[in-house]
Amino acid sequence: MMPGIVKLLALVLFFGGIFFAVYGLVRKLKSNEMMGKPPADFDIPEESRFVLLFKPFYSLFLPIIERIPLDGYRQRMKKYAVTAGLENDITGNDIIGFQLTTMLIFGILGFMLFDNGVYIAMAAAFGLAYPYLWLSDKKKQRQEKIKLSMPDVVDMLSLSVEAGLAFNVAVQKVCEVYRRDKDPFVVELFLMDQNIKLGRSRDEALKMMAERVEVTELDSFVSILIQANKMGSSIADVLKSQADRMRSERFMNAEKIGAQASQKLLVPMMIFIFPIIFIVILGPYIIQF
């Protein structure tokens, strides 16, 4: 009798929490529309909406979360959010709150589905780890997008500078051209340009961009630009050579991935396809004998 009542209460709490989270978000959006404002998430990336959906729930515990002595982990999650391009909407405390929320949700689901305490603990542990894995994956995806788009964007910068534009003006023009695409590398260039307008030097703004993204190719590109600026070299020639180099590296990486794909397919073929072929070919002879 008692276990059934406990599970019923857990079920009510579980779906009640989801209801209030969705209700809070919808209410906030409706209030903004009534005031004649664009929705609060108008410029929020699709990735961060998933976390913000649960914010009405875990925001109740943010005062407690802020007191948890996890400063190092909190800073690391904040850095991950910056690299993933979500720093305007997600903080380190948001990630910790999201982790506690998903741990509670998966723990309740495990309690409702399993009677074994080990399985319940595993479900709760997965819920605790999932937000970290999700954010880490978003970070890697954005870094890969930046790697892929760098050759084309740098080539456009090179053409703009060769046409007579200053580097900062060329960055602004490229940002205008690629604005609709919401290319992550162009977003970083836009932030770099904003830092320059706020009074930072170009070298300092470039270093800040490299620190935000944490991509080896971008680190190399920034270092070469800073060195060329110090030595007085032509920025147009540097940009052109860097665009050619990045395009060659992208082609070589594509060839490398293609070569690795055939090797990765070998094991599934040996496990799943070859036995079936042997059965089809040798099966009739085995049956005869």
Q: Report which DSSP code applies to 69.
A: S
What phi and psi values does residue 184 have, to the nearest 5 degrees?
-60, -35
Q: What is the pTM of this model?
A: 0.72
282 vs 289: CA distance, rounded Å: 11
CA distances from 239 to 44, 144, 146 (A): 32, 21, 16
- pLDDT value, residue 269: 78
Residue type, 159: L
Q: Would you state the pLDDT for residue 30?
A: 46
Give residue limits of the domains in the chain: 2-141, 144-251
Check if CATH label 1.20.81 holds for domain 144-251.
yes
Burial 255-274 (b: 16+ CB within 10 A, else e): eeeeeeeeeeeeeeeeeeee
Distances in whole angstroms, Cα of residue 192 to Cα of each of 106, 167, 242, 257: 41, 12, 19, 32
Per-residue pLDDT 10s for the chain (289 aa) are 445 555 555 555 666 666 555 555 555 544 444 333 333 333 445 556 667 677 777 777 788 888 888 889 989 999 998 998 888 778 888 888 888 888 988 888 888 888 888 888 999 999 999 989 999 999 999 999 998 889 889 988 998 998 888 888 999 988 888 877 778 899 899 999 999 999 899 899 999 999 999 888 899 889 999 998 888 888 888 888 888 888 888 888 888 887 777 777 877 877 888 788 878 887 787 777 6
Among 230, 140, 145, 228, which Cα is nearest to 183's?
145
**Residue whose token pair is 């959906």:** 53
* pLDDT value of position 36: 38
Q: Tell me the HSE value of 145 on the side-chain side, using a 13 A CA sphere.
A: 18
Burial class of 284 by CB neighbour count within 10 A (0 to 12, 13 to 18, 19+): exposed
CA distance 231 to 154: 20
Residues 154 and 121 sit within 8 Å (Cβ to Cβ): no
> How distant, in Å, are the alpha carbons of 17, 141, 149, 270 from that of 152?
46, 18, 6, 40
Q: Find the largest Cα–Cα distance for the chain.
A: 87
CA distance 159 to 55: 45
| Cα–Cα distance for residue pair 106/201, rounded to 1 Å | 48
| Beta strand spans in 130-217 (E) | none
Q: Any long-range contacts for 33-40 (C-beta under 8 Å, 24+ apart)?
A: none
Could you give the count of Cα atoms lying within 13 Å of 111 in the half-sphere of its Cβ?
Answer: 18
Strands annotated E in 61-114: none
Please tell me the predicted confidence (pLDDT) of residue 136.
Answer: 92
